[in-house]
Structure 1
């Protein structure tokens, strides 16, 4: 009998047992966040020790002989004080100095959420899933592509709060167009703080904006608390090849001085701003990341920092960025090895898609990328939900399905569970040849946890699917999102802290001109 035939026989032969099992399913949803993933599967490592050393040496040669532009007078003075060779804006970094500095970055640390039950460990075997950010458009609950507003951002923050596999609300998942650019960071940060009690990200769109985020964190958690408790994450993108600019470096200083971690993220478009070669692209990226990681320790020795990157390859036919390609997977494997070589946590992107709608292309690209980064051992898995159209829009439908994929990746990363092996094995003689396990006491006790059952995937018969209205994944996902939002309950926020946050926002909005683009450096 074919595998399909056996599956159908098992389904029909055990239907009464299946119905009995389904009747015991909980009728209320459990919105509790999954603990951070502690991986228990091997790393996929595509380089031997000689290749790691070769790549490290190539990166160090770039730092020593080509140099990195730090387009920021404060950073240049900092590097001179630290003993680096500085010629104009170009900093030449001795490998001994780089190694000495990155050695002080913590290999692991704990993020502290507003709700301590949502604290998560990062680094080593510990990983978290973080939604996408930065989309200038969304696909809404009616699957319409349009400009987002602050209310739409709140919708995503509420969903992130309720989806167990997401460990953060990120920050500007979508851009709120109904607020001036120069003031958005305040409302975005408050939305993250108010609509969820999970960990969140902080805006780094300018040094002053980053300082505002730090002040709001100090209001929420307490000034002294920030000194030894990471509560948020900043992202600082490099301008590949080999440039760090004043905006990102100023924001980096704002976070590091308060002992808050930043992602040191070269922005890689493979073949466009890196060599058209996987190993050479990683060598350049590695040099860029190391230069920024080292600078975090010049700012404040011992502050947490994360080896970051944004990875894409460029279509040589159109010039457009691509997602889910084999080379992106290979680069993630290699970057994971390099980060472990240096003993620092690392960030990657989890569910990238280039499709214009939530279609098969989006699913294939995202699943391919997420699978690779899980096996690569990534710690901070950003853009893990919602990303489509090369980041141009965040899809509500894809957001909730990606969260299911993250839950599946979480389960995969945990590895096999052996705690009830003997008990489960004892069912074999009870059932014997030709029987089924659906009615066995062990199955009845463990069916909800033994095998992952993705809520949004349809595994019914074709007849049942037709009877249920022939709903495809996008419709099911949007219905699920509506149901989630109808059950949302805002986590309680201390009244005094909430009032202080609102007062701070009101004051800063009076102080910051609302002339949008002209004030991005404010």
Structure 2
């Protein structure tokens, strides 16, 4: 039988405002992927990359510019020649075999705990931007208030699984003390997991001391709660700052991203497969060192991927080679049975324009199909990381929610029920008023809020508002309705006391000598 059409009326702005005010900001669970992975390499090619990387580790070696690390490697049985460490492949394999393939991130709100590794993935906002594009889309230096606003948005956007750390650099606070305020902001404004600063070994120790205040020393020794990132200096160098921070995190049993910093064609060969072989060697050397520090400590195969324009030398985002490298790195991480990190929604555009959107969408789809676990820089990144855009932050988060839905795969739960609706409606009818549609329309198809799909007449009648303005309006609405997940009073006081003591101890004289 045919079902009669159901009359509809357009909802007014008041109704839409009411819907926004009651928007569900509950964090999505960790993504459980149910789509096949994109794996362009054969098993023979995986073995070829592995062999090439092991040859690099054995015959070329990796420089560790750190006396403690060199001593650690000597005791572990490596061939140390000055600062250059030559690693036997059997030693590397034995060490990385002790890295946990899966673990659970614990948040101060247990409802926001996250299974991690294998088929589970999390989205993490961008970090490190020296500029922002603010709620008026003005590019300027950020402040602690701006950083707090990004942490609040991270808390309220369901697809973001972390508040990260210095999403933007707060220029109104001393550089030498900044890590303390950044960490407190991450903890205070969100009850999700977060990241910890690794700008120096002592800064990393401060972060971990604050983390111990928040969770307890015994708890963090047995539970991952905060993530550190250690960047390598490609080609084939790890420096004292990163290695010291790595030791701080591993000794406290907290996950660390071992991340070669790849500018393809500049600090790697100008070819995809050899670049991955070098990057793989760099990552393996750091992953192995985490287990020299503390066997069984959680560690994540990391990287930052960019290709370099052969015209200008500028880093590029969203290129096909970056996607291919992500596919390959995913295969290598699974070959070694370790979780891995990648970067997401990267844009090189100077404003939130079509270029930024295309680049970001290209990368998002690739990292999901590559099977990444720690999907970092998932919101806000533009201008090659020089600024974090409030507008792009909100839209990127919605893009991640769309990618989340896609990567969950096909839902078969209502298949038989929906087929019965075909018989009910029959030829020439429609489904708008059918009970199955009325029961399922909200979850059947993703309905983005940031993208306008109305007729041009309706769009014009509502002011011809383009996506940047819509996103900034949504950011304002979210911030206006933000409710702080309050810290325990005693814990908050202990954190503030720690910050006050450390700020008295840390010289601040150099901190305000900043450049715009």
- Alignment match of 2:386 (pick from 381, 384, 392): 392
Alignment of 1:42-441 (within 5 A): 42-441=36-435
Q: Distance between the aligned counterparts of 2:314 and 2:510, measured in 1?
A: 28
- Residue in 2 aligned with 1:5? none
Detail structure 1 runs of 4+ shifted over 2 Å in the superposition: 13-20, 22-27, 515-520
State the partner residue of 2:492. Answer: 498
**Separation in 2 of the partners of 1:257 and 1:215?**
12
Deviation at 1:515, TM superposition (A): 2.8
* Contiguous gaps of at least 5 residues in structure 2: none
Q: Deviations over 1:129-166 (max 9, x none)?
A: 00000000000000000000000000000000000000
**Counterparts of 2:275 and 2:8, CA distance in 1:** 55
Deviation at 1:426, TM superposition (A): 1.0
Q: Deviation per CA, 1:377-409: give whole Å up to 9, x if none.
A: 000000000000000000000000000000001
Mapped partners of 2:351, 2:19: distance in 1? 33
* Aligned-partner Cα distance in 1 for 2:314–2:35: 34
Query: What secondary structure is seen at the aligned counterpart in 1 of 2:499?
Result: helix
Cα deviation digits, residues 402-429 of structure 1 (max 9, x gap): 0000000100110001111111111100
Q: Distance in 2 between matches of 1:285 and 1:374?
A: 20
Provide the rounded CA distance (Å) in 1 between the counterparts of 2:9 and 2:52: 58
Matches within 5 A, 1:412-491: 412-491=406-485
**1:16 correspondence with 2:7:** yes
Q: Distance in 1 between matches of 2:257 and 2:287?
A: 9
Do 1:165 and 1:403's aligned partners in 2 also have CA atoms closer than 8 Å? yes
Alignment check: 8 A CA contact 2:173 2:512 kept:
no
Q: CA deviation at 1:257?
A: 0.1
The residue that corresponds to 1:7 in the other structure is none
Q: 1:232, 1:519 → 2: CA distance?
A: 30
Q: Is the 8 A contact 1:207 1:251 kept in 2?
A: yes
Work out whether residues 175 and 512 of structure 2, in 8 Å CA contact, stay in contact via their aligned partners in 1.
Answer: no
Asked if the contact 1:17/1:438 (under 8 Å) is kept, the reply is no
Q: Distance in 1 between matches of 2:69 and 2:62?
A: 12
Cα contact 1:18–1:438 (8 A) shared by 2? no
Once residues 271 and 214 of structure 2 are traced to their aligned partners in structure 1, the CA distance between those partners, rounded to angstroms, is 46
Work out the CA distance in 1 between the residues paired with 2:361 and 2:511. 36
Q: Select which of 22, 27, 48 maps to 1:33.
A: 27
Equivalents in 1 of 2:39, 2:221: separation in Å?
A: 36
1:484-520 per-residue CA deviation (whole Å, 9 max, x = no partner) reads 0000000021000000000000000000001336999
CA shift at 1:121, angstroms? 1.2
Q: CA RMSD in A?
A: 1.7
Shift in CA distance, 187/405, structure 1 to aligned 2, threshold 3 Å = same
CA distance in 2: counterparts of 1:56 and 1:518, whole angstroms: 47
The separation in 1 between residues aligned to 2:65 and 2:465, in whole angstroms, is 53
Aligned length: 507
Change (3 A) 1:14 1:69: farther
Q: Deviations for 1:269-300, whole angstroms, at most 9, x for unmatched residues?
A: 00000000000000000000000000000000
- Check the 8 A contact 1:513/1:519 in 2, yes or no: no
CA distance 1:300–1:440, shift in 2 (3 Å):
same
Normalised by the length of structure 2, the TM-score is 0.96
1:14 and 1:73 map into 2 onto residues whose CA distance is 77
In structure 1, C-alpha distance between the alignment counterparts of 2:9 and 2:288, rounded to whole Å: 57
**TM-score normalised to structure 1 length:** 0.95
TM superposition shift of 1:16: 2.5
Q: CA deviation at 1:19?
A: 6.0
Pairwise CA distance, 1:356 = 0.0
Unaligned runs of at least 5 residues, structure 1: 1-12
Deviations 1:190-220 (A, max 9, x none): 0000000000000000000000000000000
